[in-house]
Amino acid sequence: MKLALAADHGGFSLKEAVKGWLLEWGHEVTDVGTHSTDSVDYPDYVKLAAALVSRAEVDRAVVLCGTGIGASMVASKYPGVRATLCHNIYTARMSRLHNDSNVLALGGRILGEDLAREMVKVWLDTPFDGGRHKRRLEKLGEIERKILEGREP
């Protein structure tokens, strides 16, 4: 799978760990930064990963900031991106099963590495369940199209 990674300084350390796991598991990784713990603004990096997902240049992305909140907000602005902020294995699994999440947002100051590793693995390995959830995602897509066309739903 082709994956993008992005983080600000608050998510940098965990991003580096995630990158190692993804490579260990055989994935292709595009790391768009940041590349240090120097203070930066999360939108500057998360937007790069979200754009790659939006343009289908990667399959999915993992984005991080201190809490994951800002990263999820930025990523969700991009057409076709379904960013989900997860804090445990259950939400990581359900984000894929029911929401076909293509961007996982994590809090670098919230999660320990052991839990984050399991969450990323579950998120990568869990398929979309389809069925009634597909209908709901189609409705989400329709809302997005109307907004992009300048028509509010």
Active site residue 87: no
Each residue of 99-137: b (16+ CB within 10 Å) or e? bbbbbbbbbbebbeeeebbebbebbbeeeeeeeeeeeee
Q: Which of 9, 27, 35, 65 is catalytic?
A: 65
**Paired strand residues for 11:** none
Active site residue 133: no
Element (H, E) at 49: helix 42-54
Q: Which of 27, 86, 87, 98 is catalytic?
A: 98
Q: In this structure, are residues 118 and 89 in contact, taking their beta carbons and an 8 Å threshold?
A: yes
Q: In this structure, are residues 89 and 122 in contact, taking their beta carbons and an 8 Å threshold?
A: yes
- The CA-CA-CA angle for residues 118, 25, 130, to 5°, reads 65
Catalytic amino acids?
65, 98
